[in-house]
Amino acid sequence: MPATAPATSRANAESDPPVLRVDGLGVRFGSQQVLRDISLDLDAGQTLVVLGESGCGKTVLLKTMIGLVRPTAGDVAFEGRSLSRMNDRQLAHLRTKYGFVFQGAALFDSYTIADNIAFPLREHTRLSEHEIAEIVGTLVDEVGLPRTVLLKKPVQLSGGMRKRAGLARALALDPQLVLYDEPTTGLDPIMTDVINELILRVRERPRVTSVVVTHDMSTARKVADRIIMLYPLFRLRPDEPQIVFDGTPADLDRSRDPRVRQFIEGRAGNRLTELLEEQGLTERGRPTATDGGAVTDDETTDDEEETT
């Protein structure tokens, strides 16, 4: 099965230009290259899940999509307009079309929940305080928060409530593109599913496009209509693409790429051995796999041909 099979919604929306185009994107922090030659088109209404292990550059990719991280190579374009060619004012205006749900919610500590959710409305609209209060009320209802939280400060809320308040704030300006950074990390299974349901509800809004960065397979299977998987660059050869999988959730389950299988089945393989040897005996180079579930270099190479 070719891993780059187009997702179904992608095929349906061929006539429309992509909402977001990532073209040959590379990001480097000092001497550390995090992303290399990432290209993808995101169609209107699509929900893209970006999978990958910690440190593979998922969050950096998400932040590059909104211009919080400037790429060192390539470009990101929203509705055909390149982000890197925009000045600060244009970028600020563009960001009103985005909603960003942060990993730790990133609510302003010194504001109440009501003020947090009202922030983008006060910043970008000329609505009266009464109208803003109404919208804020509707938003907290939509994410299933009681209205009693409105006067509380973020520290008084549980993790799940904070995440939902963060989602309400991200939806305040009725965004076209919603970016979620690890929306279910640190939540119990029930709250995880609540957040998954909320992501699905947001998806049902007309022509809302979503990008969900996660390493939670239940979220990926539930909300995605397209999944890509990133792989850490230091585990790849210079000629290997960093996106090791691109397809539907069903394709993901059928994938025979050992890197993908290792991730979705959650196997450590030889990672612990690698980590221990890196700490004590770096001069030995990369350790070879010793157990059956490990991903060996040979396997990776063979399947790489399949993925590309």
Partner 1 sequence: MADTTGRVWCASTAHALSDTLAMASSPATAAPQSAVNGWLAGMVANLGSFAMSSVAGIGDVAIFTLQTFGWMFARRQRRDVLLPSFYQIGVMSLPVVALTGLFIGMVLAVQSYAQFKALGLETRLGSVINLSLVRELGPVLAATMLAGRVGSAMAAELGTMRVTEQIDALESMGANPIYYLVVPRFLGCLVLIPSLTVMADFMGVLGGYLYSHVLLGIDYHHYWENSRAYVDAFDFLMGIFKSFFFGAAIALVSCHHGFHCTPGAEGVGRAATNAFVHSFVLILVLDLFLGIGLNNFHDFFRPEGPRKLL
Check: CB of residue 42 under 8 Å from CB of residue 20: yes
CA torsion sign, 152 to 157 to 161 to 167? positive
| Mask for 95-114, x = binds partner 1 (CB under 8 A) | xx-x-x-xxx-xxxxx----
Of the ranges 29-37, 141-149, 247-255, 258-266, which one interacts with partner 1 (CB under 8 A)? Answer: 29-37
Rounded Cα distance, 305 and 308, in Å: 5
* CB closer to partner 1 out of 50 and 179: 179
Q: How far is the CB of 163 from partner 1 (least distance, A)?
A: 13
The least CB distance from residue 76 to partner 1, in Å, is 14
Binders of partner 1 among residues 216 to 255 (CB under 8 A) are none
Strands ordered across the beta sheet of 226-230? 98-101, 177-181, 209-213, 47-51, 226-230, 243-247
Is residue 94 at the binding interface for partner 1, with CB under 8 A as the rule?
yes
Q: Which stretch binds partner 1 (CB under 8 A): 27-35, 37-45, 237-245, 247-255?
A: 27-35
Half-sphere exposure at residue 238, Cβ-oriented, CA atoms within 13 angstroms: 0
CA 34 to chain centre: 15
Among residues 88, 239, 298, 305, which is the contact residue for partner 1, using CB under 8 A?
Answer: 88
Q: Is 133 in the site for partner 1 (CB under 8 A)?
A: no
What gap in Å lies between CA 139 and CA 277, rounded to an integer? 50
The answer to the question of residue 27 lying near partner 1 (CB under 8 A) is no
Nearer to partner 1, 122 or 271 (CB): 122
AA letter at 230: L
Residues 156-195 that bind partner 1 (CB under 8 A): 169, 173
> Token pair of 222, please?
């539930």
When asked if residue 92 is in the footprint of partner 1 (CB under 8 A), the reply is yes
Shortest reach from residue 284's CB to partner 1, in Å: 23
If the CB atoms of residues 108 and 250 are measured against partner 1, the closer one turns out to be 108
Closest residue by Cα to residue 208 from 256, 257, 171: 171
The answer to whether 125 contacts partner 1 (rule: CB under 8 A) is: no
Q: How far is the CB of 121 from partner 1 (least distance, A)?
A: 10
d(CA 71, CA 275): 30
CB of 91 to partner 1, least distance (A): 8
Distance (Å) of CA 127 to CA 92, 132, 133, 134, 173: 19, 6, 10, 11, 12
Do the Cβ atoms of 124 and 94 come closer than 8 Å? no
The binding track of 34-63 with respect to partner 1, each residue x by CB under 8 A or -, is -----------------------------x
Residue 31 binds to partner 1 (criterion: CB under 8 A): yes
* 142: three-class secondary structure by DSSP: helix
Nearest 5°: the CA angle 301, 304, 308 is 150
Q: Which is nearer to partner 1, 82 or 290 (CB)?
A: 82
Q: Which CB atom, from 128 or from 148, has the smaller least distance to partner 1?
A: 128
Residues that bind partner 1 (CB under 8 A): 29-31, 63, 66, 68, 70, 88, 91-96, 98, 100, 102-104, 106-110, 119-120, 123-124, 169, 173
